[in-house]
Structures are given as structure tokens and as C-alpha cells.
Amino acid sequence: MPLAVPPELEKEIDDHITHYPVSKRSAVLPVLHHLQHHFGYLSEEAVEWTAAKLELEPIKVLEVVTFYPGFRQEAPGKYHIRVCRTLSCAMAGSYELMDSLCEKTGIDRSGVTHHHPIAVSGDGNFSIEFAECLASCGFGPVCMVNDDFHEAVTNIDGLLSQYSK
């Protein structure tokens, strides 16, 4: 089934493509960002839609999707949490933060692998993954929930209560 891209989103995408007057291929990342933001993840149909839009072979889009950790091919939870794993945050307790977040949201990370880094809670409300350095090393441990950024996370209940609906 072809991807159902709402007209207003397609207009936004078409506008964005004009930022690359030399080569439409340059718009692969921004188009994928728009689609992932709208659909939550990048399906096979999203890859094909992007390829058709930019007049590329689908493999040219798929190879981008599979390379970048910021693109995902599976649906995340309603609230997707990224916990910084890297040194300064780890020293500040990011592994403990990951464990507590999993416990409180009922997420089981035992099936996580390099190619499937995201684990989703049973109710689909939350998903979680480790991210590499989120660039706030002085104020760890840090995490992102969707597009929101949180520093020095100690009050986990307080954090999660913002995303309870």
C-alpha cells in the first residue's frame, strides 16, 4: 500500500527540497526526517515514497536509513526515550538511569541488539534506547524524550509524569 502523506506535509517536504538547488539527492535526510516525525518510523513504503519524490533508486534511500542511528525502521512507543550512554553521563549514572526508567515503564531490554536498539513497553506508551553522547556532558545524566531534552535527571517519577497521557 502506498504511503498516505497528507497534502500539507507533502507541501512542507516540497518546500524543504528547494533548500538544495544543486542536487535533490541532498534532501534525502530532511525528507526522511519529515516522514519519521509524522509516521514515527520509516517503513518500506516511506523509503519508496522518498525515492520516488527525489527521483532516486530506493536502495539510495534505504542505505541512508540503515546507516544513521537517528532513523528507525520499527515503531517506537508514543514517548521515545534516548538515554546518553557515553563516558561523562555514564560517570554521572546513566546506566542506573536506564535501569530505573526500564523498571518504571515496564520495558524489557533483554532483546536489544546493535541492529535493533529500541525496546518498547507492553502498552506501547514508552520506548527506550541508549544514544551516544548527547553533548551536555557537564550536566549528566541526560536524556531526550521525543524532542524534549532533560539534564541531570534524578527525579525519574517527575520526568515520567510529564509524559503520562
Residues forming contacts to other proteins in the complex (CB under 8 A) are 19, 21-23, 25-30, 32-33, 54, 60, 63-64, 67-71, 82, 85-88, 90-91, 114, 131-140, 144, 147, 149
SS (HEC) of 105-153: HCCCCCCCCCCCCCEECCCCCEEEEEECCCCCHHHCCCEEECCEEECCC
Nearer to other proteins, 9 or 90 (CB): 90
Nearer to other proteins, 29 or 122 (CB): 29
Hey, what's the torsion of the CAs at 144, 137, 112, 49, to 10 degrees? Answer: 50
Helix (H) or strand (E) holding 99: helix 94-105
Nearer to other proteins, 66 or 122 (CB): 66
Using alpha carbons, select from 45, 74, 77, 80 the residue that is nearest to residue 62: 45
Residue 33: CB minimum distance to other proteins, A:
6
Residue 123: CB minimum distance to other proteins, A:
25
Nearer to other proteins, 6 or 21 (CB): 21
